Copies of this chain bind each other. A is one copy, B any other.
Amino acid sequence: MNFNAEYQQIKELFEAELYKKIDGLLGVEPTLHSAMKYSVQAGGKRFRPVLMLLTAKALGVDFSSIMPYAIAIEFIHTYSLIHDDLPAMDNDDYRRGKLTNHKVYGEAMAILAGDALLNLAYETILRANKSICDINAGRILALYAGSSGMISGQALDILNENNNSATEEELKNIHYNKTGKLIMASVIIPSCFADNSYFDELKNYGENLGLLFQITDDLLDVTANFNDLGKTLNKDENSNKLTFVTLYGLEGAKTKAKTVFENAVAYASLVDNGEILIELANMVYTRKN
C-alpha cells in the first residue's frame, strides 16, 4: 500500500472511533453537544492522531492502547482551535472552509464547547485501563498540552502580536510550544507503550516536524488560495503577525523548511521501521493545504 492510501486508511479508522466517542456522549445539553460535534466533525487532516497511530505502528504498539490518546489529542487540538478563533484571540470567521464555532453558536457557547472538549480529552484517557504506560502517557499529554506547553506558546503568540523586532529564537520558542508540543507528544506517547524505545529520537523528530509544520503553514498563508486552505488568507500579514515569512522572507522561509525537513528525516532514520515517519515528513514538506 502506498503512503497516501495508508494515511487515509488510518485516518478513517481513527475518525470512526472519534465519532463514536463524541456521538455517544450522554446527558450533554443539546446545543452544547451540537457545538462540540460541529468542530470535531469539521474535518481536517487529523494530523496529530494519525501521526500517533503511525508511530505506534512503527514501534509495534497495539492501536487499542493508543486510541484513547489519539482521540484525546484531537479533542485538545480542536478545543485550542475553537478558542484561538474567538474574537478576543485571532478573530477568525472561517476554519477548514466552514464558519468558525463562535460564528455559528455564539461566543459564550464556543467558549464552553472548547472547555468541554478539553475536559473530554482527559475523561477519555482516565477511562482507559491504567497500566504504568498509561500513567506516563497521561502525564506527558497533560504536560505538553498545558501551561508549560501548548498554552504557553499561545500566550507568547498573543504577547508578540505587534512585535516586529522579535528574533528567530523568540519565534521558534513560540512555535516550539504552540505547534511543536502536541506534535512531539504524538510521537513520544507511543514510545511510552514500547518501553520508551527511541524516546529521544522521536522527540527530536517531533520537534523538527512541528517546526516544519509551522513554517509550511506560514508559507501557505501567502502562497495558497482560499479554496486550498479553507480559511482567510494573508491573515498573518494583515494582522501584523510575526511569521517565518515575515522574518526570513519567502525564499529564506523555503530554505529553512528544507533544513528542518532534512533534520526530521535524519532523526526518523534512526528509528527501526521509521520509513513511514520519513514519508509523513515529506507529506508535510510538500503539502498544498
Question: A145 vs B123: C-alpha distance in the bound complex, in angstroms?
Answer: 10
Question: A127 vs B109: C-alpha distance in the bound complex, in angstroms?
Answer: 31
Q: Which of A81-89, A226-234, A238-246, A260-268 contacts B (4 or more CB under 8 A)?
A: A81-89
Indicate if A159 sits at the interface (CB-CB under 8 A): yes
0 or 1 for each of A14-31: is its CB under 8 Å from B? (1 = yes): 000000000001111101
0 or 1 for each of A71-115: is its CB under 8 Å from B? (1 = yes): 000000001100100101100000000000000001111011011
Indicate if A166 sits at the interface (CB-CB under 8 A): no
Indicate if A148 sits at the interface (CB-CB under 8 A): yes
Contact yes or no, B118 A115, CB < 8 A: yes
Interface residues of A in 165-224 (CB under 8 A from B): none
Contact yes or no, A27 B116, CB < 8 A: no
- Given A127-B139, A142-B126: A109 touches B158 (CB 8 Å cut-off): yes
Chain B: CB-nearest residue to A90 = B108
Contact yes or no, A27 B120, CB < 8 A: no
Question: A57 vs B166: C-alpha distance in the bound complex, in angstroms?
Answer: 53
Indicate if A32 sits at the interface (CB-CB under 8 A): yes
Most B CB within 10 A of own CB, among A80, A126, A154 = A126
Chain A contact residues: helix, strand, loop or mixed: helix
Chain B: CB-nearest residue to A110 = B88
Number of copies: 2
Chain B: CB-nearest residue to A161 = B108
Contact yes or no, A122 B142, CB < 8 A: yes
Q: In the assembled complex, how far is the CB of residue A38 from the closest CB belonging to chain B, in whole angstroms?
A: 14
Q: A115-B115, A126-B138 are in contact. List 12 more A-B contacts (CB 8 A).
A: A29-B156, A32-B152, A32-B155, A33-B147, A89-B108, A111-B111, A112-B158, A116-B146, A119-B147, A120-B142, A123-B142, A130-B130
Report 9 cross-chain contacts, Cβ distance below 8 Å, ordered by A residue: A31-B159, A32-B152, A108-B158, A111-B111, A119-B145, A120-B142, A120-B147, A126-B135, A127-B139
Residues of chain A at the chain B interface (Cβ within 8 Å): 25-29, 31-33, 36, 79-80, 83, 86, 88-89, 106-109, 111-112, 114-116, 118-120, 122-123, 126-127, 130, 135, 138-139, 142-143, 145-148, 151-152, 154-156, 158-159
